[in-house]
Structure 1
């Protein structure tokens, strides 16, 4: 992407992109940290930051990321640490795009560590690519410094950085950045989008070695292979019933509910890659939590008291009810959701067994989802996280 042809193409793309998106000013670190939802004491935690190269040649990588967010989160559905299912937080950065700020080394934090998976999905689908300079050392340093990484040594903390230019580019020493990350207990996994030898020549393997990570190679232009299973259609069909169990409340509800539906639609558009299926599975797990706008999720918090929710914050159908009727309605919707989620997860177990057998017959190169899955399971096990056999 250093050739004249690509620079001209990038310039044209940048002009179009700038008309649609002007990067927001860099958020203050204190503000970013404040956005992280509180986690109950003794709850196992997984923190993953995904750093994506959004320069001109990375359309394939972004497409893979759009379709596989839900599959990444679903890796921890059957995981346990000290008998409890871990809570997963995801952060998202982009780097290497010329419409970003040169003063910030062409880096933008898209989302801090968060459980708001619908927001992460929304941002992924909004990503555009254009030409720029890809500074791996700088974006790793930003993610290490800015994010609210948990200090508990039992927390699995990992950065996954994907790109295709030399790892050592830019004004920030990439080796030093990787050393600083692992000093805070943050593993750095490097994902080179291209040939293995090319990635080694560009020092992508060195970054992983310095931070206890894995050097991974993917074909970013390869379509995600979704193995269809007999359970797929039934799982996807249950999404409609699942959505009917949400009880919106508060000022944040209209926008959040619209975002939920929009991300359902985005996932449905990528159904060939299994995105909708994985989204429904994720929505049936404890990691899909919407306590800020859904009464069913909010009611699972210890401090929740339905009688203290203001009447004007309730949905219309609940405003007419007595306090006891409201409690009964909430209990009914909670039971409905739990039954649907249990059905989805049971079907998914059957599906996983079917897919595992089929996958043995495939010899396709790794894509973003398979590369990340291989690394995170091995690394998380060292933190005492185990998976059901």
Structure 2
């Protein structure tokens, strides 16, 4: 479903893409200048972009984990720029660790940390909980596990990507990486490799061959380099809106309160990395891919208008337990309207922020880090798959 919104602004000259609202309406915000049409679109489950990130958590990979924490929300925001035949795909991210002595030797020292999921706070939570610890790095084994055990969606219009990052020879272990990757390709899953070290060493130790075999991209990065950020004049205002958007979430169900608390925890985790990372997360929360219908009543009602009719009193938060169904519906509608307004404000600022960053990036050398490797290849692979890019 699409809703057309018109913004007047001297600074906007292109179409902006946001998430969806439930009921079509037209709204005018006065700023003084050119009229700009904005399409608000809800992601469709008809097609998906699924990304599995496989991280080496052996002793030498602390820097890699830090880069992943620093770039998660930037990767999410990059994914939201892709459209398929004009539609926003649903986005799922999965997470694996491998090469950690704390994992089972019989299981090839690999662990599925999180399944392919739309629950982005879960991915953040699990990512921040990762710890490094020695180990044997078996790339073939972790790729095979991700290919066979994650819930990949069939269909040519879906884009399915594996990113594996590490620093030991790619051919270790008793599972042949070529066979594992060929099985991935049979399921239209492209495998991309990120070697943490010298480019030529990565080539010699088969990381490039893994990408070639998987129809993916090969990168090398300095995993010990700290991610460089560009602060912008829009960051403070975006973070203020993020604090307001949190107030629109209404928890329900057995895990509702816990999940809402985790949302605040992941805000704090993002901020602990850097202010810019916190802003990136705030931007992600303005998009419809950041959805929490499993615990938030606003998102739940957006997905299912009759959701409140089937909700038990004990599943409601304290502030709604003594209200009638009509009062609850009004309350949720108000929260939904508040969130939608805040999301639009963030989205306008986010576009200006990205334009500022793009301008500044032209003045300096692009940093080779995990996030940039994934983000740049997502765009290129997406175009090859028939996706368009709308920033």
TM-score range, shorter chain: 0.7 to 0.9
Q: Is 1:124 the counterpart of 2:127 in the alignment?
A: yes
More helix by share: 1
| Partner deviation per Cα, 1:100-124 (whole Å, 9 max, x = no partner) | 0000100000001011111111111
Contact 1:43 1:84 in 2 (8 A): no
Q: What SS does the corresponding residue of 2:73 show, helix, strand or coil? A: helix
More strand by share: 2
Residue pairs, 1:194-343, within 5 angstroms: 194-272=197-275, 274-302=276-304, 304-343=306-345
Q: What SS does the corresponding residue of 2:338 show, helix, strand or coil? A: helix
Deviation for aligned residue 1:85:
1.2
Residue pairs, 1:1-389, within 5 angstroms: 43-272=46-275, 274-302=276-304, 304-388=306-390
| Partner deviation per Cα, 1:123-170 (whole Å, 9 max, x = no partner) | 111111011110101100110010111111110000000000111111
Runs of 4+ displaced beyond 4 Å: 39-42
Q: What SS does the corresponding residue of 2:306 show, helix, strand or coil? A: coil
CA–CA separation in structure 2 for the residues paired with 1:128 and 1:49: 19
Q: What SS does the corresponding residue of 1:70 show, helix, strand or coil? A: helix
Contact 2:196 2:223 in 1 (8 A): yes
The TM-score normalised by the length of structure 1 is: 0.87
Contact 2:82 2:379 in 1 (8 A): no
| Partner deviation per Cα, 1:77-110 (whole Å, 9 max, x = no partner) | 3322122211110110000011100001000000
CA–CA separation in structure 1 for the residues paired with 2:146 and 2:154: 15
CA–CA separation in structure 1 for the residues paired with 2:60 and 2:185: 29
Deviation for aligned residue 1:48:
0.3
Q: What is the match of residue 8 of structure 1?
A: none
The TM-score normalised by the length of structure 2 is: 0.87
CA–CA separation in structure 1 for the residues paired with 2:321 and 2:306: 18
CA–CA separation in structure 2 for the residues paired with 1:337 and 1:242: 6
Unaligned runs of 5+ in 1: 1-38
| Partner deviation per Cα, 1:198-256 (whole Å, 9 max, x = no partner) | 10010100000011100011111111111111111111111110000001111110211
Deviation for aligned residue 1:42:
5.3
Unaligned runs of 5+ in 2: 1-41
Deviates more, 1:68-77 or 1:352-361: 68-77
CA–CA separation in structure 1 for the residues paired with 2:280 and 2:89: 18
CA–CA separation in structure 2 for the residues paired with 1:107 and 1:313: 37
Deviation for aligned residue 1:324:
1.7
Q: What is the match of residue 15 of structure 2?
A: none
Contact 1:87 1:286 in 2 (8 A): no
CA–CA separation in structure 1 for the residues paired with 2:228 and 2:73: 15
CA–CA separation in structure 2 for the residues paired with 1:102 and 1:128: 17
Deviation for aligned residue 1:44:
2.6
